[in-house]
Each structure stands twice: as structure tokens, then as C-alpha cells.
Amino acid sequence: MRNYTFLLSLVATGFAGKALAADCFATKLGYPCCTTTTEVVFTDNDGKWGVENNNWCGMADECWSEKLGYPCCTSGAQVYYTDADGQWGVENNNWCGIIAGSQPAPRTTTTTRRTTTTPKPQPTQEVVDCSGKTLRSNTNLSIGGRKVIVKFPSGYKGDKPVPLLINYHPIMGSASQWENGSQTAKAALSDGAIVAFMDGAQGNMGQAWNVGPCCTDADDISFTRNFIKEITNKACVDPKRIYAAGFSMGGGMSNYVGCYLADVIAAAAPSAFDLAKEVVDGGKCKPSRPFPILNFRGTQDNIVMYNGGLSQVVPGKPITFMGAKNNFKEWAKMNGCTGSPKTNTPGNNCEMYENCNGGAKVGLCTINGGGHAEGDGRMGWNFVKQFSLP
């Protein structure tokens, strides 16, 4: 068990005052909002946690009643506070990145707030109104004549905002084909997110995405933006927790959302594709904010070569891949990352820039001997879900 340093003050009820501030990332509490720039601050009056970027990262007296979406927030779970180490837990032992405690958190006590650091002012949290959003079961939507398959997580009731993952299929694929093929999608669904599978536009080699010189002329950016508008009107999606992933050309598209859709998509985890050199050299990739991204690439990929180069996969529409390392460096440059990337983070043969503008991270996971395939879906989902829009 990790010990935390904080100050205690006694109150009339006999409980110790719960006033502390701690570095969320350093203590590695496992919450999705624990980024390198967030500071966890305990508030005395209501027993909740908050973080300075307004992604609430904690639990209150009754975890379920707060509808915070943690896997341990079951209808029977009670949250307890432990005086000795300042950690939270739930009574059913379904750990939420923390431990079970010894006594209930005080509900009405008033204490003198004293912290080891001075917390920054908290902005007002945006409230998502779920009323009138009646779409709650798997369905197909039509956006500009193209199909989007929407899958809901088990137990979704539409009474609290949940994340959304947009998952782009490979060339010659489809929403229907990719619906059952993506491990990233399965990880997101199991964590309570809604997942959308979108049909690419018809091109010379089947359904594809506009990823620069290749491979269709469709406006996939507007297509994605229009879908986000539609689904957030119909289902209770948290607009600050919308993510992208994809494989092959779908990985290309989920790279491109960082260039053009960073205002509505929080982070991406692409597989087996790079940005096009033609787009980067032309100055066309201009993220509106620092954009977190984790790419997965195989060293033996014979479709999108690990070291980059000209591809003639689609006749008449050549594309020059940046290469895995150059793509990684380009994203680090666009995000203002400094220093050297950490190795084996978040997994073996992965590299991660963590000192980037706005708390963003830029990663590359290399699969030695790997071919043209989707990366580690669970790792990809765990990466994106830690971020939210400012």
C-alpha cells in the first residue's frame, strides 16, 4: 500500500478532516483523468474528488448515486474513506484502483481546509442532459447516405453520459465487416462505451477513406462531424470523451482526425497506417489543439511499410507513407513534446512522449515481426480513455 502525505484536522464528529492535495499521475491511482498535468484535490464539504481540468476523478459517499461510471460503482457499493493513507475503496471489494477503507466518509461535517499545496480554481463542470435522448439499443444510422452501425454496451440505460469510440474499417472492408473484427471496439464496449462503425465511401478498391492523395475524394471529415452531431442528439454521449481508432486505411483516418477534428475528438489509437508525406509536407495537418495519439505498427508490414515510402496499392492514387518513426516524430513535433520518449511505455517495445503541450501524449508501439494487423486493442483503448477535451 502506498503512503500519502497530507494534513489532518480534527472535527467535532471524531472523523479526521479529509483535506489533501496530491499529484494524480505520480500516485498512479488508475483513473482515466490521471494525466501528467492533473492534480487531485480533496474537497472537505462534499467528500468528492476533483481535478484541475474539470474531469471529475473520484467518488462520493455513494458511488452508484453519483453515476460516475466506474466499474466498481454497483448498486450495492458504498464508498469508504481511510484515514491512514487517504485512499478510497468500496465495500464489495471490487477495486477501483484503490483500497477498501475503515470508516465512512463524513457527509455533513465542516472542517478547516488545509493542504500541502494550493489547489487551482476549478471551472464549472459541464452537465450533460440525458433527457429526451432515447436511443438505447444497437441500431444503424444513415449519415449522408452512408451506414453507421452503433453498438451500445451491456447495461446501458441512457441515464448518464458515456464515452464514444468511432472505429474506422480497413480498405475493402465495411462497417458490418469491422463490427466483429476490432479488439479495440471490444475493449471499449466492455468498459461501458458506445462504439460506432462507419462505412467508408466507395472507391476503386471498395469502401475506403480520404487519407490524402489516396483513396477517395469523399469528405470524410464532414461525414464524421455530422455523425457526432447526430449521435450526441440521440444518445447520452459525453461530448468531451469521443475517441477514434481504426486499422489499415481506418488507421490512416484515425490519424487524420487529429489533423482536422481535434475540436470534437479527444484522442486516437490508430493501427497500421501513417500520415501521408504529401499532406504533412503540404502543411495540411494542423491540429487545433495538442492531440493525444498512440500508433501501432508492425515491422514486417508489407502494405504500409514500417520505414515508409511510396505505395501503389490503389491504382492511380499513389501515397507516400511517413514511416512509423517519422510519423511518431511528426506527431511529437506538432504536440510540442520535449525531451526523450519513455521506453516500454505503455507496454513492451512502445515509446511515449509525455512532456507535451496541454497534457497530451504521443506514443508508438512497434510489433517486432508483426505484419499488417490491428494493434493491442485493450492497450489502445486504455490509452485514449484517459483523455478528454478541455
pLDDT tens digits for 127-179?
A: 788 888 999 999 999 999 999 999 999 999 999 999 999 999 999 999 999 99
Burial 257-267 (b: 16+ CB within 10 A, else e): bbbbbbebbbb
Answer with the residue of higher pLDDT: 363 or 117: 363
Asked whether residue 389 is domain-assigned, the answer is no
In a shared domain, residues 101 and 216: no
In a shared domain, residues 20 and 105: yes
Contact 164/243 with Cβ under 8 angstroms?
A: yes
Answer with the residue of higher pLDDT: 113 or 271: 271
Return the number of other C-beta atoms located less than 10 Å from residue 333's C-beta.
Answer: 12
Asked whether residue 217 is domain-assigned, the answer is yes
Distance separating alpha carbons of residues 81 and 287, to the nearest angstrom = 42
Q: Which of 119, 149, 173 is the last residue of a domain?
A: 119
In a shared domain, residues 50 and 152: no
Q: Which of 50, 84, 119 is the last residue of a domain?
A: 119
In a shared domain, residues 309 and 340: yes
3-class SS shares of the chain: helix, strand, coil, % to 5: 20, 25, 55
Highest average pLDDT, of 21-30, 103-112, 195-204, 261-270, comes from 261-270
In a shared domain, residues 112 and 165: no
Q: Name the band, by pLDDT with cuts 50, 70 and 90, for residue 29.
A: very low
Count up the domains in the chain and report the number: 2
- Over residues 213-249, the pLDDT tens digits come to 888 899 999 999 999 999 999 999 999 999 999 999 9
> What is the residue range of 56's domain?
1-119
Q: Which of 91, 119, 147 is the last residue of a domain?
A: 119
Contact 281/271 with Cβ under 8 angstroms?
A: no
pLDDT at 66 over 70: no
The CA-to-CA distance between both ends of the chain, in Å, stands at 32
The predicted model scores a pTM of 0.69
In a shared domain, residues 211 and 287: yes
Answer with the residue of higher pLDDT: 169 or 52: 169
Asked whether residue 133 is domain-assigned, the answer is no
